[in-house]
């Protein structure tokens, strides 16, 4: 579950202020700071949407870019041992540390793929044939003996 709100391509946080006894949030990835507050989640969502709409109106009137541009560069602070380990892994893969970090981030942000789980239940003593793609896998044996696996084409 995400604690982010989204409206017109903008994202905002949802947080609780113990001091103010209310929900608060901030529009992310813009120049400057734009905050909103409310007593309930539906009210906070409405305040966020109104804040974004007013911000877009102001940017339009002033002729400024509403979104903070991402440059594609940022500094990462790591434990020295992790830095060394990542550098060694990158070297083993014949890629730069930058490429290694880029791949790691790509894997971390991509949508999870559904897990496909396949297994066979073998309990009969006669050969059982299972279709797998274009090949046929045969299993023979029973649960009391060792199993043999092979592929029939």
pLDDT one-digit tens code per residue, 135-145: 444 444 444 43
Q: Where are the domains of the chain?
A: 4-62, 80-109, 119-153
Paired strand residues for 22: 17
Instruction: Evaluate whether 139 touches 127 at the Cβ level (below 8 Å).
Output: yes
For 64-77, what is each residue's pLDDT tens digit?
Answer: 989 888 888 889 99
On the question of pLDDT at 148 being above 60, the answer is no
For 53-65, what is each residue's pLDDT tens digit?
Answer: 999 999 999 999 8
């Amino acid at each position: 579950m995400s604690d982010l709100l989204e409206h017109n391509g903008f994202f905002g946080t949802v947080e609780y202020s113990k001091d103010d006894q209310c929900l608060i949030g901030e529009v992310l990835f813009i120049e400057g700071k734009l905050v909103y507050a409310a007593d309930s989640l539906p009210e906070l969502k409405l305040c966020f949407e109104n804040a974004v709409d007013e911000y877009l109106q102001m940017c339009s009137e002033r002729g400024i870019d509403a979104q903070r541009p991402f440059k594609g560069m940022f500094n990462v602070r790591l434990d020295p041992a992790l830095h060394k380990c990542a550098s060694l892994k990158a070297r083993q893969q014949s890629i730069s540390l930058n490429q290694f970090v880029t791949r790691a981030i790509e894997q971390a942000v991509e949508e999870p793929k559904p897990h496909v789980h396949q297994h066979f239940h073998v309990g009969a003593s006669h050969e059982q044939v299972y279709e797998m793609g274009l090949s046929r896998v045969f299993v023979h044996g029973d649960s009391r003996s060792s199993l043999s696996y092979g592929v029939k084409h």
